[in-house]
Amino acid sequence: MTHVFEDESFGLKLKGYSIVPNSALETGIAIYTSEIVQSILLEHPEIVDRWLQKLHAEYISKKKSCDFENDPVACFTLSVYEEFEKHFKSWEDGGLLSIILPQNRVIRVSKKPLITIVTGSKTSYLVCSKCLISFTDIDEYAKHCKQENDMVRQNPANKESSAWLSS
Protein backbone atom coordinates (compact mmCIF):
# COMPACT_ATOMS: atom_id res chain seq x y z
CA MET A 1 0.00 0.00 0.00
CA THR A 2 2.98 2.35 0.44
CA HIS A 3 3.28 2.69 -3.34
CA VAL A 4 0.03 4.68 -3.21
CA PHE A 5 1.87 7.50 -1.43
CA GLU A 6 4.65 7.49 -4.03
CA ASP A 7 2.33 9.45 -6.35
CA GLU A 8 4.12 12.66 -7.41
CA SER A 9 0.92 14.68 -6.96
CA PHE A 10 0.97 14.00 -3.20
CA GLY A 11 2.78 16.46 -1.00
CA LEU A 12 2.71 18.97 1.79
CA LYS A 13 2.17 22.71 1.78
CA LEU A 14 2.34 25.52 4.29
CA LYS A 15 -0.84 27.08 5.57
CA GLY A 16 0.19 29.89 7.84
CA TYR A 17 2.76 28.33 10.15
CA SER A 18 1.20 24.86 9.88
CA ILE A 19 2.26 21.99 7.64
CA VAL A 20 -0.80 20.60 5.87
CA PRO A 21 -1.40 18.06 3.09
CA ASN A 22 -1.99 19.34 -0.42
CA SER A 23 -5.39 18.57 -1.95
CA ALA A 24 -4.25 15.30 -3.59
CA LEU A 25 -2.75 13.99 -0.34
CA GLU A 26 -5.77 15.16 1.63
CA THR A 27 -7.98 13.05 -0.65
CA GLY A 28 -5.66 10.05 -0.16
CA ILE A 29 -5.84 10.47 3.60
CA ALA A 30 -9.64 10.65 3.45
CA ILE A 31 -9.74 7.39 1.50
CA TYR A 32 -7.38 5.43 3.76
CA THR A 33 -8.15 7.18 7.13
CA SER A 34 -5.63 9.23 9.04
CA GLU A 35 -4.72 6.31 11.34
CA ILE A 36 -3.71 4.07 8.43
CA VAL A 37 -1.79 6.89 6.74
CA GLN A 38 0.03 7.71 9.99
CA SER A 39 0.98 4.07 10.38
CA ILE A 40 2.32 3.90 6.82
CA LEU A 41 4.27 7.14 7.18
CA LEU A 42 5.77 6.00 10.49
CA GLU A 43 6.99 2.85 8.76
CA HIS A 44 8.25 4.77 5.71
CA PRO A 45 9.48 8.21 6.82
CA GLU A 46 11.34 8.57 3.52
CA ILE A 47 7.97 9.46 1.93
CA VAL A 48 7.53 12.42 4.30
CA ASP A 49 11.20 13.28 3.85
CA ARG A 50 10.68 13.63 0.10
CA TRP A 51 7.67 15.92 0.66
CA LEU A 52 9.64 18.04 3.11
CA GLN A 53 12.57 18.28 0.70
CA LYS A 54 10.20 19.89 -1.83
CA LEU A 55 9.14 22.49 0.74
CA HIS A 56 12.79 23.06 1.60
CA ALA A 57 13.52 23.69 -2.10
CA GLU A 58 10.66 26.22 -2.14
CA TYR A 59 12.28 27.97 0.85
CA ILE A 60 15.64 28.16 -0.95
CA SER A 61 13.91 29.59 -4.02
CA LYS A 62 11.99 32.19 -1.98
CA LYS A 63 15.13 33.13 -0.06
CA LYS A 64 17.06 33.69 -3.31
CA SER A 65 14.20 35.71 -4.80
CA CYS A 66 14.00 37.88 -1.72
CA ASP A 67 17.73 38.37 -1.19
CA PHE A 68 18.92 38.77 -4.77
CA GLU A 69 15.88 39.95 -6.73
CA ASN A 70 14.16 41.96 -3.97
CA ASP A 71 10.89 40.20 -4.81
CA PRO A 72 8.35 41.67 -2.33
CA VAL A 73 6.06 38.61 -2.48
CA ALA A 74 8.93 36.24 -1.71
CA CYS A 75 10.12 38.49 1.12
CA PHE A 76 6.58 38.67 2.55
CA THR A 77 6.20 34.87 2.68
CA LEU A 78 9.75 34.20 3.83
CA SER A 79 8.89 34.25 7.56
CA VAL A 80 6.50 31.33 7.07
CA TYR A 81 9.21 29.36 5.29
CA GLU A 82 11.75 30.23 7.98
CA GLU A 83 9.39 28.78 10.59
CA PHE A 84 9.08 25.68 8.40
CA GLU A 85 12.88 25.40 8.37
CA LYS A 86 12.80 25.03 12.17
CA HIS A 87 10.38 22.11 11.78
CA PHE A 88 12.52 20.69 8.99
CA LYS A 89 15.68 20.86 11.13
CA SER A 90 13.83 19.16 13.98
CA TRP A 91 12.69 16.45 11.55
CA GLU A 92 16.26 15.92 10.35
CA ASP A 93 17.37 15.55 13.98
CA GLY A 94 14.73 12.89 14.67
CA GLY A 95 12.01 15.14 16.05
CA LEU A 96 8.29 14.71 15.68
CA LEU A 97 6.52 16.43 12.79
CA SER A 98 2.82 17.27 12.91
CA ILE A 99 0.77 17.34 9.74
CA ILE A 100 -2.46 19.21 10.42
CA LEU A 101 -5.58 17.75 8.84
CA PRO A 102 -9.08 19.23 8.52
CA GLN A 103 -11.27 19.18 11.63
CA ASN A 104 -8.20 19.62 13.87
CA ARG A 105 -6.95 16.08 13.32
CA VAL A 106 -3.19 15.55 13.32
CA ILE A 107 -0.81 12.99 11.87
CA ARG A 108 2.45 12.81 13.81
CA VAL A 109 5.51 11.19 12.27
CA SER A 110 9.20 10.97 13.10
CA LYS A 111 12.17 10.19 10.91
CA LYS A 112 13.92 8.34 13.75
CA PRO A 113 11.33 7.15 16.26
CA LEU A 114 12.45 6.76 19.87
CA ILE A 115 10.27 3.70 20.43
CA THR A 116 8.70 1.05 18.29
CA ILE A 117 5.41 -0.59 19.18
CA VAL A 118 5.31 -4.23 18.16
CA THR A 119 1.97 -5.98 18.11
CA GLY A 120 1.61 -9.72 17.94
CA SER A 121 -1.36 -12.03 17.87
CA LYS A 122 -1.71 -12.07 21.67
CA THR A 123 0.60 -9.38 23.04
CA SER A 124 2.12 -6.06 22.18
CA TYR A 125 5.25 -4.45 23.56
CA LEU A 126 7.46 -1.39 23.26
CA VAL A 127 11.04 -1.54 22.02
CA CYS A 128 13.57 1.17 22.92
CA SER A 129 15.18 2.29 19.67
CA LYS A 130 18.45 3.16 21.46
CA CYS A 131 19.20 -0.16 23.12
CA LEU A 132 16.50 -2.50 21.71
CA ILE A 133 15.21 -3.59 25.14
CA SER A 134 11.53 -4.65 25.14
CA PHE A 135 8.91 -3.44 27.62
CA THR A 136 5.37 -4.62 28.21
CA ASP A 137 3.95 -1.26 29.26
CA ILE A 138 4.64 2.43 28.91
CA ASP A 139 5.46 2.91 32.62
CA GLU A 140 8.36 0.44 32.40
CA TYR A 141 9.60 2.17 29.28
CA ALA A 142 9.38 5.63 30.91
CA LYS A 143 11.33 4.34 33.93
CA HIS A 144 13.96 2.92 31.56
CA CYS A 145 14.30 6.25 29.72
CA LYS A 146 14.70 8.13 33.01
CA GLN A 147 17.40 5.70 34.17
CA GLU A 148 19.18 5.94 30.84
CA ASN A 149 19.13 9.76 30.91
CA ASP A 150 20.32 9.82 34.53
CA MET A 151 23.19 7.49 33.64
CA VAL A 152 24.29 9.76 30.79
CA ARG A 153 24.15 12.85 33.03
CA GLN A 154 26.18 11.19 35.78
CA ASN A 155 28.91 9.82 33.52
CA PRO A 156 29.79 12.05 30.52
CA ALA A 157 31.81 9.18 29.00
CA ASN A 158 28.49 7.37 28.44
CA LYS A 159 27.37 10.12 26.09
CA GLU A 160 29.60 8.68 23.40
CA SER A 161 28.24 5.16 23.78
CA SER A 162 24.68 6.52 24.00
CA ALA A 163 25.20 8.50 20.80
CA TRP A 164 26.64 5.41 19.16
CA LEU A 165 23.63 3.33 20.21
CA SER A 166 21.14 5.87 18.90
CA SER A 167 22.69 6.07 15.43
pLDDT tens sequence across 64-95: 999 999 999 999 999 999 999 999 998 998 88
Coil/strand/helix, residue 114: coil
Confidence band (pLDDT; 50, 70, 90) for 56?
very high
Say if residues 37 and 28 touch (Cβ distance below 8 Å): yes
Residue 3: predicted pLDDT: 77
Q: To the nearest whole number, what is the mean pLDDT of the chain?
A: 82
Coil/strand/helix, residue 8: coil
The per-residue pLDDT for range 122-144, each reduced to its tens digit, is 666 777 766 767 777 777 877 88
Residue 41: is it exposed, middle or buried by C-beta count within 10 angstroms (0-12/13-18/19+)?
buried
The per-residue pLDDT for range 41-54, each reduced to its tens digit, is 988 899 999 999 99
User: What pTM was computed for the model?
Assistant: 0.67
Helix (H) or strand (E) segment spanning residue 147: helix 138-154
Highest mean pLDDT among 21-25, 145-149, 153-157: 21-25
Given a cut of 90, whether residue 104 has pLDDT beyond it is no
Say if residues 146 and 137 touch (Cβ distance below 8 Å): no
Pairing status of strand 115-119 against strand 105-110:
unpaired
Give the CA diameter of the chain: 62
